[in-house]
C-alpha cells in the first residue's frame, strides 16, 4: 500500500530514515517512552503495520501493530501534542485496521488517558481486563480488544 493523504497530512509505511523522528515523537508524547532500539526492532519486524503520519513533510504521528501468536497487538499510537485533535490518530487507526487480518486486536492504555479511551471506544474496542501497576510509574492499564473482520467480496458469475 502506498501513501494515504487526508486533509493536510499523509500516512505511509515507516522508512529507516524516519526512526530518529519517531523516537523524538515517542519522547515528546509519553512519560515512559520506548527506547529507540525497540522502536527500530518494531519497524523491522512490522514493515506493513508500522505507519507514520506526516504534516508538510514532518512526522507528527506514528502507530504500530505487532503480530503475536494469538492476536495482533496495537503497541502504540502517538500524535505530537501540537497536532492532536486533527483526526491523525483516527486516520492512523483506520489505515492500520485495513492492513490487519481477521482476529482480535488488543492493546493497553493508561487508566488516566481519557482521550485515547474515547478514541478506542468510538472504534468498537471494549475492555477485557485491567493490569495493576502496568506502567513504570505504577499507573494501571486498561486492556482492550476489538475483533477485526474483513468484509468479504461477493463474487458473481459472469
| CATH of residue 65 | 3.40.630.30
Mean pLDDT of the chain: 90
Does 153 map to a domain? no
Would 79 be classed as within a structural domain? yes
pLDDT in tens, 144-156: 999 998 776 666 6
pTM of the model: 0.86
Per-residue pLDDT reduced to its tens digit, 59-110: 999 999 999 989 999 999 999 998 998 999 999 999 999 999 999 999 999 9
Tell me the percentage of the chain whose pLDDT exceeds 90: 78
Q: Are 105 and 146 in contact (CB under 8 A)?
A: yes
What is the per-residue pLDDT for 112?
Answer: 94
Report CA-CA distances (Å) from 22 to 15, 54, 107, 120, 146. Answer: 10, 11, 20, 22, 26
Reported as type and span, the H/E element at residue 38 is helix 36-45
The boundaries of the domain holding residue 51 are: 4-106
- The rounded distance, in Å, linking the Cα atoms of 34 and 71 is 21
What pLDDT sits at residue 6?
47
Q: Which pLDDT belongs to residue 72?
A: 95
C-alpha cell at 34: 520506548
Domains identified in the chain, total number: 1
Beta strand ranges found along 14-158 (DSSP E): 50-55, 58-67, 72-79, 103-110, 126-131, 141-148
DSSP track, 130-150: EETT-STTS--EEEEEEEE-P
Over residues 109-132, the mean pLDDT reads: 95
Amino acid at each position: 500500500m502506498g501513501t494515504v493523504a487526508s486533509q493536510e497530512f499523509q500516512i505511509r509505511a515507516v522508512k529507516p530514515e524516519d526512526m530518529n523522528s519517531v523516537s523524538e515523537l515517542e519522547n515528546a508524547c509519553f512519560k515512559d517512552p520506548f527506547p529507540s532500539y525497540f522502536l527500530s526492532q518494531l519497524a523491522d519486524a512490522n514493515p506493513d503495520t508500522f505507519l507514520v503520519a506526516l504534516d508538510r513533510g514532518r512526522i507528527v504521528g506514528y502507530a504500530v501493530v505487532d503480530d503475536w501468536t494469538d492476536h495482533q497487538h496495537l503497541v502504540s499510537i502517538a500524535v505530537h501534542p501540537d497536532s492532536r485533535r486533527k483526526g491523525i490518530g483516527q486516520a492512523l487507526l483506520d489505515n492500520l485496521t485495513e492492513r490487519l487480518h481477521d482476529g482480535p486486536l488488543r492493546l493497553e492504555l493508561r487508566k488516566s488517558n481519557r482521550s485515547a479511551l474515547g478514541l478506542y471506544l468510538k472504534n468498537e474496542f471494549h475492555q477485557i481486563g485491567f493490569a495493576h501497576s502496568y506502567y513504570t510509574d505504577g499507573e494501571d492499564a486498561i486492556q482492550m480488544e476489538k475483533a477485526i473482520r474483513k468484509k468479504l467480496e461477493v463474487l458473481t458469475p459472469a
